[in-house]
Structure 1
Amino acid sequence: MTTLGALIVLFHPSKEELAHAVSLRTHCSSMLAIDNSPQPDVEAAAVLGASGVPLLHNGNRNGIAGALNRGLAQLFVAGADAVVLFDQDSSPPPEFFDVMRDTCSTLGAQPFLLGPRIYDDNEKRFLPEIVIDGLLVRRLRLDPGTRAQRCSFLISSGCVVSRRAFETLGNFVESLFIDHVDTEYCFRALLHNVPLYVIPQLVLPHRIGNKRRHRLGPFMLTSENHAPTRRYYTARNAMYIALKYGMRFPVAFSPNLWTLWQALQVLLFEADKIAKLRSILMGVADGLFGQLGPLETARPGLAAWLAHRVGRE
């Protein structure tokens, strides 16, 4: 039977999120929590320690990518055959671990990435599952009763990374820091012929951004309302992925269309327009020229300007 570990990344977790993290421990063979808060979270250490959940403080070093890499490495050294990744607000259904463990056993020793369907709680709809077919991209039609199906993209939350996949693909790119870290990993898996699977019977609720609905004439449109720093990372990393993978997979250019849509959202609906648009433009420029890493080192002037604005509010 597959030894399935669990890795949950925490960032200033609430009491409810800590209780949820503790509840995962009984369902997996091994577990590790990564505290990615800049300073050690005292309450997290107390709650998780009392429940026997190991906690490693990463201090947001190299963002979500750094947290995932350190956690995966530690769990694989401890003997896990595969590890499932969770955000602190992810709530898997009761059957999640049993189904994932059985599917991992079926797939055996091959490298693979495996994930559930993702239901966007904000939009009240499933995220589309797509597969690349040559130069074409098609959307999968998923029946909850079917077995795991090949797909081309998974988000990190709820994703299972097998030991062989981690050995084949290596670490998540820490210079991306946050946003599109999982997208890059999926493109790398496709490039190295590591299969990705979605399990239609498993559904993981997930919240993406602080979405709000707006009426524009006869249309209802959505804005995500991310902070300027997140706008920077999203725009920068989308451009980086396009340049790195676009010649092999033309769909890699599509995240840049999302960047344009984000800029339009800001112009039409969101507050703090100047800071967000400036962050998007600088992100695109840095992605073009490969200027990666945390905002504070990639764009210290922008980071200082944004921090000054926050301090004045």
Structure 2
Amino acid sequence: MRKPVLAVVVTFNPDLNALTRTLSILNGQQSDVLVVDNGSSNFVKIRAKLTTSTEVELLPLNANLGLGAAHNAGIRFARTKGYEYVLLMDQDSIPLDHMVQRLLEAHRAKSTHQKLSAVGVTYLNADNGSESFFVRFGWLKFQRHYCAERDSDGCVLADFLISSGSLISLATLEKVGEMDEGLFIDHVDTEWFLRARNLGYHAFGVCDAVMQHGLGEQTHRVTLGRRQRNVPQHKPFRYYYIFRNSVLLYRRAYASGVWKWNDLQRLAMIAVMFGLLKSPRRANLTMMLRGFWHGIRGVTGPYSDA
């Protein structure tokens, strides 16, 4: 019997042991599993690994088309097969006990009395074990809201969620639309939630739905005022997409002014920390500036030197 949820796991050169673990856990919860491969160099090994399982379907894209395109391929697959929900997942995200069930319960509870865009997991950072927070837009900066503030449903209101671990109904996707494939990687989730929010939809983090997740290649502990924060560092090419796609979204009418102001502050912090202070400074700053310029020019899709 088909389960209500299709977990869409996007892969790109994954660690096969970690991937197998993630897929096995998802199969043991209330979800079927589809692996959408984004042109992995080790695809032959992925296919060989997955052909031993009758519980996982594989959809190869044969090239790296980006995160948005991979999510959309999974969403369309779910639609043709009659699933009620999609659960978007990264290859390096590890669900903990009852995660899918908790997300389903929260989605059904919240959607009975409001327009719900999605519910999402609470993260345990794989690097240091710290628990995540949920973000709302503030007039001074992004506001962090933790599970100590959970409501009677065990949820925390959020203005957007990280895509991995987000449960979205196919009915909502029909109304809000699919992911923006032109953004390629970064801000694919941000853009969709900004669009949904503009249409009156709300998102919630679910405190009892927990997943391990790594946010960057390296994490730095930074003191800002009285607080210490973990700031992920990425490879230089990612800063191209972060800056380009922020600028692209600033030009869109449904991106609220308060989000733009919050995001500008985030970009300034990234530019100072990784463009001026942390190596490789020159490569990081070059990609930031190129991304900023391409955003002004309206460039979309995968990175190009042009």
Q: TM-score, normalising length from structure 2?
A: 0.85
Residue 251 of structure 1, CA deviation: 1.9
Asked if the contact 2:220/2:232 (under 8 Å) is kept, the reply is: no
Is residue 216 of structure 2 the alignment partner of residue 227 of structure 1?
no
CA shift in 2, pair 1:79/1:135, >3 Å: farther
Match among 44, 47, 50 for residue 48 of structure 1: 50
Asked if the contact 2:13/2:41 (under 8 Å) is kept, the reply is: no
Is residue 102 of structure 2 the alignment partner of residue 84 of structure 1?
no
| 3-state DSSP of counterpart to 1:125 | coil
Structure 1 segments unaligned to the other structure (5+ residues): 301-313
Is residue 65 of structure 2 the alignment partner of residue 69 of structure 1?
no
Q: Give me the CA root mean square deviation.
A: 3.0
Asked if the contact 2:116/2:203 (under 8 Å) is kept, the reply is: no
Deviations 1:190-219 (A, max 9, x none): 011122121122222211112244789x99
One-letter identity of the residue aligned with 1:292:
T
Asked if the contact 2:160/2:190 (under 8 Å) is kept, the reply is: yes
| 3-state DSSP of counterpart to 1:30 | strand
Segment of structure 1 superposing worse, 93-102 or 155-164: 93-102
Aligned residues: 297
Deviations 1:130-171 (A, max 9, x none): 334899965434246841343211000100011111101111
Match among 157, 173, 184 for residue 180 of structure 2: 173
1:55-204 alignment, distance < 5 Å:
55-107=58-110, 111-122=116-127, 124-132=129-137, 138-143=143-148, 146-147=152-153, 148-204=155-211
One-letter identity of the residue aligned with 1:4:
V
| 3-state DSSP of counterpart to 1:262 | helix
| 3-state DSSP of counterpart to 1:160 | strand
One-letter identity of the residue aligned with 1:66:
A
Q: Distance in 1 between matches of 2:14 and 2:143?
A: 37
- 1:35 equivalent in structure 2: 37
Asked if the contact 1:122/1:207 (under 8 Å) is kept, the reply is: yes
Q: Distance in 1 between matches of 2:36 and 2:252?
A: 29
Is residue 21 of structure 2 the alignment partner of residue 14 of structure 1?
no
Q: Distance in 2 between matches of 1:223 and 1:50?
A: 39
Q: Distance in 2 between matches of 1:129 and 1:197?
A: 8
CA shift in 2, pair 1:233/1:241, >3 Å: same
Residue 113 of structure 1, CA deviation: 0.7
| 3-state DSSP of counterpart to 1:62 | coil
Q: Distance in 2 between matches of 1:6 and 1:284?
A: 34
Segment of structure 1 superposing worse, 59-68 or 243-252: 243-252
CA shift in 2, pair 1:49/1:250, >3 Å: same
One-letter identity of the residue aligned with 2:214:
R
Residue 84 of structure 1, CA deviation: 0.7
CA shift in 2, pair 1:270/1:223, >3 Å: farther
Q: TM-score, normalising length from structure 1?
A: 0.83
Asked if the contact 1:135/1:249 (under 8 Å) is kept, the reply is: no
Quote the sequence identity (%).
25
Q: Distance in 1 between matches of 2:222 and 2:80?
A: 52
CA shift in 2, pair 1:225/1:73, >3 Å: same
Segment of structure 1 superposing worse, 32-41 or 133-142: 133-142
Segment of structure 1 superposing worse, 94-103 or 160-169: 94-103
